[in-house]
Amino acid sequence: MSSPIVLQIFRGEGDSGAEQRFEVPAVEGMVVLDAVHYVQANFANDLACRWNCKAAKCGSCSAEINGRPRLMCKTRVDEFVGEIHVGPMRTFPLIKDLVTDVSWNYEVNKQIPGFTPAANEPVPYKMLPEDTERVYEYRKCIECFLCQDVCHVLRNHDDKSAYYGPRYMVRIAALEMHPLDTRKRTGLLHGKAGIGMCNITKCCQEVCPEHIKITDNAIIPLKERTATDVYDPVARIARKLNPFSGAAGISDLVAATDGQASTPQRFTVKDVVRLKTRGRQFARVASVLPDGKLQVWVLRMNGSVQHWDGPKIVHTSDVTNNYGPLDEVGIGGKLVEQYITEDHAAEQHG
């Protein structure tokens, strides 16, 4: 390795920029990040790049090397013949040089309801070894966002509103597969998280530096779970017979009838219910009062914006159906579309 390494490093801010050529002396065992550091120390002190651990554990030095999303610290320069092109991740807005603004990911993360064990779960929690091992794989994620970068759904949609991306499928899987978690997130997955957008090209799985089988072990099982909860007719009937145990899947809304629920309904705070009153409005349980009364907030749609009116006191007999706990995001987006179309249809028939 006597001839120098030739790097073409992208430099620029915002919308503009171009590659700049640098020559770096080759060193045994050198990785791309070392070469970038050499450039930084000797030619361009202000070259912007994120980095930290140099051991593929922090997930900050993500870049596109010869067009492929990689960690710079894990990519040897002697893998390549000829020039090495180093550029920022293209899926996220450019800040400067190799640094991109990945804050969208954190906003998405906030929308995922966290670990929710049953309120009466005895403490300290007990778990079987195989149950804990099952969620280990998802916990390996270092949040380098290479999977988000390579995902064509995110890459090709500027507003990124259609899909949360592979990273958050992994996070949701970690929560969903947690043996003590009681929350259903299939409504969210079907709705705003947009799991249906993934068509299993497995690109994310291929670029993952932690070798998490994102598609095989997170996305596909979650797709199955979502399909069961949202579409499976048997599960739907089972839920209707025992609404409390069911998922807050969207198909319930379609199937909702003026049902005399065959089992007495139970309510807890945050449950989404539908009222028998005119327009069969959705409401959210604010508190459960004695004598079979509920304090609720009633959903009123203003265009696509949700308004919750109330609090209002209703009797449990005024409730036609209980969809289980409010899944903060599932109630938005697609659920609302469903609600509007359904109401529209009801008006036509009525």
Partner 1 sequence: MPSARSRVCNVLVIGTGAAGLRAAIAATEAGSQVLVVGKRHRLDAHTVLAAGGINAVLGTRDPEDSWEQHFADTLREGYFIGHPRMVEIMAQEAPAAVRELADWGCPFARLEDGRLDQRFFGAHTYRRTCYAGDYTGRAVLFALAGKAQQLAIPVIEDQYISRLLVADRACFGAYGFDLVSGERTVFEADAVVLATGGHTRLWRRSSSRRDENYGEGMSLALEAGCRLMDMELVQFHPTGMVLPEEVAGTLVTEAVRGEGGYLTNREGKRFMLEVDPKKKELSSRDVVARAIYKEVQAGRGTEHGGAYLDVRHLGPEKIKKKLPSMYEQFLKLADVDITKQPMEIAPTIHYAMGGLRVEAETGATTLPGLYAAGEAAAGLHGANRLGGNSLSDLLVFGRRAGAAAGAYVREVQLGKIDERQVTEEQRILLLPLSADGTENTYLLQQQLQKAMQDGAGLAREEKSLKACLDKILELRQRSARIHVPGSRKYNPGWHTARDLRFMLTVAEAIVRAAIERRESRGAHWRLDYLEKDPALGRVNFIAYNDGGHVTLKTRPVPEMPPELAKLFAEPESSSPAPPPAASPPKPQQVRT
Q: How far is residue 216 from each of residues 69, 138, 204, measured CA to CA in Å? A: 20, 12, 11
Q: Which of 1, 4, 25, 114 binds partner 1 (CB under 8 A)?
A: 114
Between 50 and 276, whose beta carbon lies closer to partner 1? 50
Q: Cβ of residue 134: shortest distance to partner 1, in angstroms?
A: 9
Between 131 and 224, whose beta carbon lies closer to partner 1? 131
H helices, E strands: number in the chain: 12, 12
Q: Which of 16, 21, 55, 302 binds partner 1 (CB under 8 A)?
A: 55
Task: Indicate whether 108 belongs to the interface with partner 1 (CB under 8 A).
Answer: no
Q: Which of 9, 24, 32, 34 binds partner 1 (CB under 8 A)?
A: 34
Handedness of CA 176, 162, 206, 97 (dihedral sign): negative
Answer whether 259's CB lies under 8 Å from 268's CB.
no
Q: How far apart are CA 275 and CA 283, in angstroms?
A: 7
Task: Indicate whether 71 belongs to the interface with partner 1 (CB under 8 A).
Answer: no
Between 136 and 234, whose beta carbon lies closer to partner 1? 136
Answer whether 266's CB lies under 8 Å from 243's CB.
no
Between 102 and 298, whose beta carbon lies closer to partner 1? 102
Q: Which amino acid type is present at position 96?
A: K
Q: Which amino acid type is present at position 34?
A: D
Give the three-state DSSP class for 63. strand
Beta strands in the chain (DSSP E): 5-13, 16-24, 62-65, 68-71, 84-87, 94-96, 99-100, 271-275, 282-289, 293-302, 305-315, 319-325
Q: Which amino acid type is present at position 341?
A: T
Q: How far apart are CA 237 and CA 253, in angstroms?
A: 13
Choices 26-34, 153-161, 235-243, 251-259 (CB under 8 A): range interacting with partner 1: 26-34
Choices 117-125, 185-193, 230-238, 303-311 (CB under 8 A): range interacting with partner 1: 117-125
Between 102 and 283, whose beta carbon lies closer to partner 1? 102
Between 41 and 238, whose beta carbon lies closer to partner 1? 41
Q: Which of 72, 88, 91, 97 binds partner 1 (CB under 8 A)?
A: 97
How many residues bind to partner 1 according to rule CB under 8 A? 58
Question: Mask of contacts with partner 1, 177-206, x by CB under 8 A?
Answer: -x-xx-------------------------
Answer whether 244's CB lies under 8 Å from 266's CB.
yes
Task: Indicate whether 344 belongs to the interface with partner 1 (CB under 8 A).
Answer: no
Between 122 and 350, whose beta carbon lies closer to partner 1? 122
Q: How far apart are CA 95 and CA 293, in angstroms?
A: 54
Between 79 and 309, whose beta carbon lies closer to partner 1? 79
Answer whether 270's CB lies under 8 Å from 282's CB.
no
Question: Mask of contacts with partner 1, 119-158, x by CB under 8 A?
Answer: ----xxxxxxx-xx--xx--xx-xx---------------
Q: Determine how many CB atoms are found less than 10 A away from the CB of residue 287.
A: 13
Choices 112-120, 239-247, 278-286, 336-344 (CB under 8 A): range interacting with partner 1: 112-120
First to last CA, the chain: 80
Q: How far apart are CA 228 and CA 237, in angstroms?
A: 12
The footprint of partner 1 on residues 237-266 (CB under 8 A) is: none
Task: Indicate whether 26 belongs to the interface with partner 1 (CB under 8 A).
Answer: no
Residue ranges in contact with partner 1 by CB under 8 A = 13, 27-31, 34, 40-42, 44-55, 57-60, 74, 95-97, 99, 101-103, 106, 109-110, 114-115, 117, 123-129, 131-132, 135-136, 139-140, 142-143, 178, 180-181
